Amino acid sequence: MRILPSLKCLLLPALLLPGLGLPLRAAENAAPPNVVFILADDLGYGELGCYGQQTIQTPSLDRLAEEGLRFTRHYAGAAVCGPSRCSLLTGLHTGHSRIRGNGTHALKDGDLTIAEVFKSKGYATAMIGKWDSGTAGTSGDPSRQGFDEVFGYLHQVAAHNHFPDRLWKNGEQVPVPNEVVYREVNYSDIPGSVATKRAAYAQDLFTEAALEFIGDNAKRPFFLYLSYIIPHANNEHWIGDSHGMEVPDNKPYEDRPWPDVEKATAAMITRLDRDVGKIRAKLDELGLDNTIVIFTSDNGPHEEGMRNPEFFDSNGDLRGLKRDFYEGGLRVPLVVQWTGRIAPGTISEHLSANYDFLATFCDLTGAPAPDDTDGISLLPTLLGREQRKHPFLYWESRETIGRQAVLAGDWKLVRLRMNGLPDGVFELYNLVADPGELGNLYFDMPEKAAELRKLMEAAHVPSPEFPIGRENKNHHYR
């Protein structure tokens, strides 16, 4: 465990509960809130009705936004799943984080996670779904990173198959009544798989497990990390001519005049929305109003599994997809609902990232906060109070030799490296004037470009495992 500083993360004195006139933790007998954190996999900024989607039905998430707070400038920690999850869990951007790319990399025992924050304050904790921060028997096993209960996939390639024949449960593999075939893939030492018999859908199993965990812990504070795998594709869709958007059926879109892969894409997202509704209904049934429900995504939409992200305008008006450092690859939905604490129907333009949640949960629970976090607590925004702002957000990736991006206020600098150009190509955008990132101002605004380059250089701490640019001797990463 990382040694925590003695200073506690503090709420500003002005942060009073609406209608109560008391600080959030003023009374020792105040019940701590439960937290349900729902993470979608590859869900785009434009794929929910509350973010402008016109075709795919998402009534439960739209209602969540109506009853809570919707962020319009929230970002994933990375543009691909492994580093994005590490950033979320540990509160560090990818210039500082342990895991900066996909693979079999693992968190270490000294890394502080959001689960350990809650566990230190007496919460029951569970990870259900996709982990991707260390496999069984390693220091990154979720049971060694603060989670009491674990059910799901540990590695991201295994999670490609939505109809698996086995899942991990509390340190052991348990059978699932599907039949699959395995095959080595050229980008992972974990084999890929496709189901030949489909009896149980992982999404449904995860929702059932989440409902059970909530019911079992209704009389004590709990933290549920529900890391769904929808709408990620199965990239190993090599049996027959099937697409990779795996779902039990295409309801309610089976009669639409669309390609089958797009029917399946829409059905997956609506199924995800349905299951969020089931979680909300369970909380209501048990009278657990003092529960914070958080919904976001790990990165932008994909074009894998034979789907076309333009079919539903999955990235809205933004440029780029998963793996891109343009807005479409990084900006994601964030909706937060907390009955009696968050004013319904509010919208925030606060610049935030998934690596803010560790600081937020420290602030929420009164747990000690690490000095080295890159996050800033979002609790003031949740409670409608004055919010401290990020001087900048930062991302990096070793893929395709290396890329970096920094966002400071309305200005964003993107750095793309390529063979023959070791210093790379720089692109500068003003996101207010040019939200689609179409007009590169790098040579027109040299002072602003130089300012953001300094921020970019300062944010990057070299990692031997994840070299970028001139540090990167191998240019071939998936």
Supply the CATH number for residue 451's domain. Answer: 3.30.1120.10
> CA nearest 418: which of 402, 394, 396, 406?
402
203 and 327 belong to one structural domain = yes
438 and 368 belong to one structural domain = no
Task: Tell me the per-residue pLDDT of 399-451, one tens digit each, with 9 for 90 and over.
Answer: 867 899 999 999 999 999 887 777 899 999 999 999 999 999 999 999 999 99
Which residue's structure tokens are 């200005």? 411
426 and 351 belong to one structural domain = no
> Is residue 477, in this structure, part of any structural domain at all?
no
**Confidence (pTM):** 0.93
361 and 421 belong to one structural domain = no
184 and 208 belong to one structural domain = yes
Neighbours of 128 (CB within 10 A): 24
Domain coverage including residue 422: 393-471
374 and 327 belong to one structural domain = yes
Distance CA 9, CA 442 (A): 39
What's the pLDDT band for 471 if we cut at 50, 70, 90? confident
Distance CA 113, CA 1 (A): 9
8 A C-beta contact, residue 233 and residue 302? yes
> Is residue 2, in this structure, part of any structural domain at all?
no
236 and 167 belong to one structural domain = yes
325 and 451 belong to one structural domain = no
> Is residue 208, in this structure, part of any structural domain at all?
yes
8 A C-beta contact, residue 319 and residue 43? no
> Is residue 116, in this structure, part of any structural domain at all?
yes
Task: Tell me the per-residue pLDDT of 68-109, one tens digit each, with 9 for 90 and over.
Answer: 999 999 999 999 999 999 999 999 999 999 999 999 899 999
What's the pLDDT band for 26 if we cut at 50, 70, 90? very low
Asked if residue 20 has pLDDT above 60, the reply is no
Number of structural domains (the chain) is: 2
Distance CA 87, CA 374 (A): 9
Sign of CA dihedral 282, 285, 287, 289: positive
What's the pLDDT band for 23 if we cut at 50, 70, 90? very low
> Is residue 70, in this structure, part of any structural domain at all?
yes
164 and 260 belong to one structural domain = yes
Distance CA 444, CA 427 (A): 11
Asked if residue 475 has pLDDT above 70, the reply is no
Looking up residue 176, the CATH number of its domain turns out to be 3.40.720.10
Burial class (CB in 10 A: 0-12, 13-18, 19+), 381: buried
Q: Note the pLDDT of residue 241.
A: 65
102 and 132 belong to one structural domain = yes
Distance CA 138, CA 240 (A): 36
401 and 352 belong to one structural domain = no
For the chain, percent of residues with pLDDT exceeding 70 = 91
Average pLDDT over residues 18-39: 63
> CA nearest 132: which of 100, 150, 116, 156?
156
